[in-house]
Amino acid sequence: MAQLKNYHTVRYGTAEGEIKFGHITQDNVQSAVMLRNGSSNNHYITLDSSGAPHRKYGTICRSPGSFQVRAGDNAPKDQPGVYVEAVSGDLILRAPSGRVRIEGVNIDLIASGSDGENGVITIDSNEKVIIKSQIIDVNSTVSTKIFSENTVNMIGKGILNMYGGLIDAADGATKLKGSLGGSLNEEQNKV
Amino acid sequence: MIEQGLFKRYFVGRDGFIWWIGQIAPESTWKDNQPGYPVGTNDDIKGFGERCRVRIMGYHTANIDEISDDELPWAYFMYPVTAGTGNRSSCQSANISQGDFVFGFFMDGEDAQMPVIMGLLGNNEYAAVSKNIPKARFVPFSGYTESDKVAYTSLNVDKGGEIVKQTGAQTTEGKTNSQGSKTEEPNNPTTNESVTQSNSKIDAASKKAAEEQSQPLAQPSDCEPIPLGKIQKDLQNTIVEIQKTQKSVYDFSKAVTGDITGGIDDVQNFINEKLNWAIEKTSEGIKWIFKQIQKYVTDKVNDSMKDLYYFLFPNERPELKKAVDTINDLIACLFRKFIKGLIVQIGAFLKDAANKIINGAKCVIENLVANTLGQIIGEISREVNNALSGIKSLVGQVAQVTSIIDDVLGIITDLLSFLSCEEKPACSSINEWSILSGAKPLSKGDIDSLVNKAKNLAAGVQSTVEGIANPEFNFDTSDILGLDACNIGPQLCGPPLAEFFGISGTGALGNLVISTAGEVIGIDMISFGIGYDKEETYGNVLDNCGKGKGAVIKPIVEDYTDENGNIQSGVTGIDILDPGTGYLSAPDGSRGGNEYTWADPEDSIVKHPDGSYDVPKPPGNLIVVNPGDEVILPPGVCIVTEPQEGGQGGGEEICGGDEVIVTKPGVFTSPKPDYSRFSGIYPSSSSGSYPAILYLCEINIVDAGINYTEGDKIVIRPDNGASAEPKFDQQGRVASIKVTEGGEGFTEFPQLYIQSDTGYNAVLIPKLCIDRVGSDKLKEPMGQDKVVTVIDCVGKF
């Protein structure tokens, strides 16, 4: 059982390329259909019919050259030009040696988790995050924080408006001896 | 004949049916019948449809002097009814190449000028197909012309195999030059031109496609503050690619599946390219760690500053602010300097280490990161404390940051959460992915061990460079490979290990049971572990040499009572969804690591005193050794070295199977193993094994099928005395299966199906359970053939 066998594999092909029905791969998976390039070692499309859960009834498109999708020339405004959906599981886009570019008239990033651990959008970079626009709105329901281990600069070259229902401010000097009245900020910065 | 000539009707079918066998002439004589590319008008098309020249046995001689290829008749093709004629855009092109043996009939009867090709006689794997066109025809020759590129789907990965050369008719007369030899050099060792192609033999494209490496997936730094696993995996992948490329110089199968298109220079260029990529990825990963350290150091320094603010009057604080700004700038600049120096030093380290790390890339990277961290922390502590001493003039006392080293990784805790009810964002449990084998657990490294190593190194750096400026800051990477007992040498390949991973849980260990056919057929759990999640726990079969493929296991997580009486959630067993193939049941003499077989059992291995390894050499290659080199030859052979050029050394005997330190310079040819002088399991310090008996304990329903009826039976092959009864629902789907007899003595994964007159498509998977065998059972006459040997791998491979 372990070594898959198929006595009915059918191949159509030339030196340039081939299509096979029932190909047994070298990692012991049966491809219902395999389409591949004869002049490249790693250029194929398979529709697999056995193997690990992600392989069985899965599709692999592998190409050393670019993989390109251009579609939607006739799609009306109310329909997507390209639709990609991971019905279950993650959608992973990687470019470990390149740049990920997303371009559109508008760009929406929506995280819709059902509990406190999910519904999170994380932007994590090891150098810099740059946000530039005519208008930047940061709007939260519960809490907004801007934090730096080093310096926070807030500059309004024309006007800087700061408003708080109650304003609480403290600097590091209050660490040893608190100000009159004290504040939550003081307490947090004494830690 | 005369009769036919006199009464010939010149009407197809009325003058008899004359069929023939022939061979398609070299394509240079007929290819221009078609333009070879889409043209604008018919004027550029010389011929009429698909035609070629054919040399017909009995009508044309094999001697091209008597009838040259250019003089052969044009043959038309007959298409099957499924192909179409072109009408209504229905068509299917002929697939005919030079050298093909074809058969057909003459439309003009005995005139034999209008042959029609009806069909082809395909090559088989045994037929010797000449690479070049022989002078004498009617023997198989290649469809590829000399300038054609052979398809990777036709390239063999193994050169061996019997072929049958066709000698042709022998003549007593002397041959003319044009008759030539009936046979030329066959292309069979490299090229498969049989009609079954890759259906029957492994081709280069298929082998290459199965060698896809798994890739590390990045996680947000909240989920993985120290991306050790990612750096480790990138380095491991690079090392394996380099080793494969190096081996391709000696190994045909690696050469045809490799990425090298040029010669030996290309090998070095490829290695440099890969190393540069690894340097970039390692530096990227370490930069993430620097970011965390920088955050922590800045926090520590600014926190120590707060102690001073109180002592100053408000009008004096601007000066202190300037000083604090300066120190913060200094920290930022220091890290810039470190990152700049890092790429150069890591580059030098990896270039040196590439030929030394055959196994244990994870350990090496842990050491590299600990070493780097230790040196940075030491350097920063010194620089920052020096800078802080400058503040004394302002406040009258010296600020001191003493605990950077002690709390070197206090960075893990982020301060951003001000709300007590705030939850930490969920992290993905999948951080390594292969398009072929799917998810794997990516090691997050031993952070505690790393921190301890870094602390020790930091203290050392600080004390040795006290007060000495190090403006360029060069990382010392000289001792990383020897820093800790990293087992970086090649390991004997053996059975695979079961890995269990998910959002929680630790400590589950088991020995996989491997059949002699290389399938995973069961597991003997040594420890169930604790804290495993019942929904999000996954299993993986890890083969440290990458020999086996395709096994898929699913852990069974259940509550159990531990020895202290506590209820724990652990991995109590596995369901085998696919037993895979190619796994070793015991060491076979091959060596490797990092999920790659670095050396085959017949290879000779040389390790130099500096710890670097030569590429393992298959038999028949010249090997030069010098005193101090460590040599491992295949088992069962002994060689005596010859002197090197200039007559130095030689005369030293080296025997195979174990490491031998060479004492004299010498040269020898890598020998073939002699298995006749060697039997049993390959000698190994880690081959502790014990006998076990497997029985059928459960049958899992993967697909319930349809339309089965009561009375349908489950067939188990081989059954070893096991039996089971199914129950079906109203639609004839398998609802449940009861194992009525477990049998015993399964040594392979049994095949299960339901024998039925009505039902289809049920897919059932057996679950084999294990009985450890006492010595008394082994003494029974029929006991031995029922026993499988389980290698105790836990903690050894």
What's the CA gap between B294 and B292, in Å, rounded? 5
Residues of A in contact with B207 (CB under 8 A): 26
A contact test, residue of B37, B100, B147, B153 with most A CBs within 10 A? B153
Q: What token pair was written down for B289?
A: 């760690």
Q: So what's the pLDDT on residue B469?
A: 47
- CB neighbours of A161 closer than 8 A, spacing ≥ 6? none
What's the CA gap between B736 and B722, in Å, rounded? 17
Which of the 8 DSSP states describes residue B264? H
Q: So what's the pLDDT on residue B397?
A: 57
Look-up of token digits 């398979």: A46
Q: Is A172 on the interface with B (CB under 8 A)?
A: yes
Reported as a single tens digit per residue, the pLDDT across B91-110 is: 999 999 999 999 999 998 88
Structural element, H or E, at residue B728: strand B722-728
CB spacing of B209 vs A26 below 8 angstroms: yes
What's the CA gap between B330 and B305, in Å, rounded? 15
Look at residue B644 and tell me whether its pLDDT is greater than 50: yes
What's the CA gap between B351 and B368, in Å, rounded? 14
φ, ψ of residue B620 to 5 degrees: the values are: 95, 5
Pairing of strands B722-728, B666-669: unpaired
Determine the straight-line distance between the first and last CA of chain A, rounded to whole angstroms: 64
Look at residue B686 and tell me whether its pLDDT is greater than 50: no
* Helix pair B361-389, B317-353: axis angle to 10 deg: 150
**CA distances in angstroms from B317 to A177, B14, B329, B384, B386, listed in the order given:** 16, 118, 18, 20, 21
Q: Work out the pLDDT band at B658, boundaries 50, 70, 90.
A: confident
Percent of chain B predicted with pLDDT > 90: 42
Contact present, B405 and B456 (Cβ < 8 Å): no
Could you tell me which chain B residue has the CA closest to the CA of A128? B291
Contact present, A42 and A64 (Cβ < 8 Å): yes
Strand partners, B787: B693
Q: Work out the pLDDT band at B677, boundaries 50, 70, 90.
A: low
What's the CA gap between B380 and B408, in Å, rounded? 11
Please state which of the ranges B3-17, B57-71, B220-234, B395-409 shows the lowest mean pLDDT: B395-409
Return the amino acid letter for A121. Answer: I
Contact present, B289 and B377 (Cβ < 8 Å): no
What's the CA gap between B650 and B659, in Å, rounded? 18
In the predicted model, what is the mean pLDDT of chain B? 83
Q: How far is A128 from chain B (nearest CA, A)?
A: 11
Which of the 8 DSSP states describes residue A173? G
Q: So what's the pLDDT on residue B466?
A: 47
Contact present, B115 and B75 (Cβ < 8 Å): yes
Q: What token pair was written down for B273?
A: 């390219």
Return the amino acid letter for A165. Answer: G
Q: What token pair was written down for A27?
A: 């990692």
Q: So what's the pLDDT on residue B88?
A: 93
What's the CA gap between B62 and B82, in Å, rounded? 35
Residue B729, classed as helix, strand or coil, is coil
Strand partners, B712: none
Return the amino acid letter for B298. Answer: T
Report CA B555 to chain centroid distance, whole Å.
Answer: 24
Percent of chain B predicted with pLDDT > 70: 85
Q: Which residues 53-112 in chain A show a CB within 8 A of chain B?
A: 53-55, 60, 62, 90, 92, 94, 96-97
Q: Is B371 on the interface with A (CB under 8 A)?
A: no
Radius of gyration over alpha carbons of chain A, in Å? 28
- CB neighbours of B274 closer than 8 A, spacing ≥ 6? B238, B241, B242, B245
What's the CA gap between B725 and B714, in Å, rounded? 7
Please state which of the ranges B127-131, B402-406, B510-514 shows the lowest mean pLDDT: B402-406
Q: So what's the pLDDT on residue B468?
A: 45
Q: So what's the pLDDT on residue B167?
A: 64
Comparing CB atoms, the residue among A11, A122, A147 nearest residue B220 is A122
What's the CA gap between B227 and B233, in Å, rounded? 10
Instruction: Please count the other Cβ atoms lying within 10 Å of the Cβ belonging to residue B584.
Output: 22
Please state which of the ranges B167-181, B487-501, B768-782 shows the lowest mean pLDDT: B167-181
Look at residue B5 and tell me whether its pLDDT is greater than 70: no
What's the CA gap between B310 and B600, in Å, rounded? 71
Reported as a single tens digit per residue, the pLDDT across B462-510 is: 554 444 445 555 666 666 766 556 788 898 999 999 989 888 888 999 9
Contact present, B411 and B225 (Cβ < 8 Å): yes
Residue B94, classed as helix, strand or coil, is coil
Residue A106, classed as helix, strand or coil, is coil
Q: Work out the pLDDT band at B23, boundaries 50, 70, 90.
A: very high
Residue A113, classed as helix, strand or coil, is coil
**CA distances in angstroms from B389 to B394, B412, B529, listed in the order given:** 10, 28, 52
CB spacing of B438 vs A50 below 8 angstroms: no
Q: Is B288 on the interface with A (CB under 8 A)?
A: yes
Comparing CB atoms, the residue among B153, B210, B307 nearest residue A175 is B307
- What mean pLDDT comes out for the span B252-281? 84
On the CB side of A30, CA atoms within 13 Å amount to: 16
Q: What token pair was written down for B759?
A: 């039902």
Report CA B84 to chain centroid distance, whole Å.
Answer: 44
CB spacing of B153 vs A13 below 8 angstroms: yes
Q: Is B310 on the interface with A (CB under 8 A)?
A: yes
Q: What token pair was written down for B186?
A: 């066959």
Q: Is B435 on the interface with A (CB under 8 A)?
A: yes
**Helix extents (H) in B174-316:** 204-209, 228-247, 252-257, 264-309
Residue B40, classed as helix, strand or coil, is coil
What's the CA gap between B710 and B386, in Å, rounded? 87
- CB neighbours of B221 closer than 8 A, spacing ≥ 6? A124, B227, B288, B291, B292
* Nearest residue to B579 via CA among B545, B544, B541, B605: B541
Report CA B226 to chain centroid distance, whole Å.
Answer: 27
Residues of B in contact with A56 (CB under 8 A): none
Q: What token pair was written down for B101?
A: 């043996």
Instruction: Please count the other Cβ atoms lying within 10 Å of the Cβ belonging to residue B470.
Output: 14
What's the CA gap between B714 and B724, in Å, rounded? 6
Reported as a single tens digit per residue, the pLDDT across A29-65 is: 999 999 999 999 899 999 999 998 899 999 999 999 9
CB spacing of B210 vs A27 below 8 angstroms: yes
CB spacing of A42 vs B208 below 8 angstroms: yes
* DSSP states along B500-552: EEESS-EEEEEEEEE-TTS-EEEEEEEEEEE---SSSEEEEEE-TT---EEEE
Residues of chain A with pLDDT below 50 are none
Look at residue B174 and tell me whether its pLDDT is greater than 70: no
Residues of A in contact with B384 (CB under 8 A): none
Q: Work out the pLDDT band at B447, boundaries 50, 70, 90.
A: low
Strand partners, B789: B691
Q: Work out the pLDDT band at B617, boundaries 50, 70, 90.
A: very high
What's the CA gap between B96 and B48, in Å, rounded? 16
* Nearest residue to A62 via CA among B237, B215, B209, B150: B209
Sign of CA dihedral B88, B92, B93, B99: negative
> Exposed, middle or buried: residue B36 (CB in 10 Å: 0-12, 13-18, 19+)?
exposed
**CA distances in angstroms from B139 to A48, B26, B327, B667, listed in the order given:** 40, 12, 85, 45
Q: How far is B456 from chain A (nearest CA, A)?
A: 26
Report CA B60 to chain centroid distance, whole Å.
Answer: 52
* Nearest residue to B74 via CA among B38, B42, B109, B106: B106
What's the CA gap between B571 and B507, in Å, rounded? 9
Q: Work out the pLDDT band at B361, boundaries 50, 70, 90.
A: confident
Residues of A in contact with B294 (CB under 8 A): 149
What's the CA gap between A84 and B552, in Å, rounded? 28
Please state which of the ranges A91-100, B114-123, B390-399, B647-656 shows the lowest mean pLDDT: B390-399
Q: Is B153 on the interface with A (CB under 8 A)?
A: yes
φ, ψ of residue B448 to 5 degrees: the values are: -60, -45
What's the CA gap between B720 and B696, in Å, rounded? 9
- CB neighbours of B330 closer than 8 A, spacing ≥ 6? B383, B384, B387
Which of the 8 DSSP states describes residue B461? H
A contact test, residue of B311, B436, B538, B767 with most A CBs within 10 A? B436
Determine if the pTM surpasses 0.90.
Answer: no
Contact present, B794 and B509 (Cβ < 8 Å): yes
Reported as a single tens digit per residue, the pLDDT across B383-438 is: 777 777 767 666 665 555 555 545 544 544 444 455 567 777 888 877 889 999 88
Q: Work out the pLDDT band at B784, boundaries 50, 70, 90.
A: low
Comparing CB atoms, the residue among A9, A143, A171 nearest residue B419 is A143
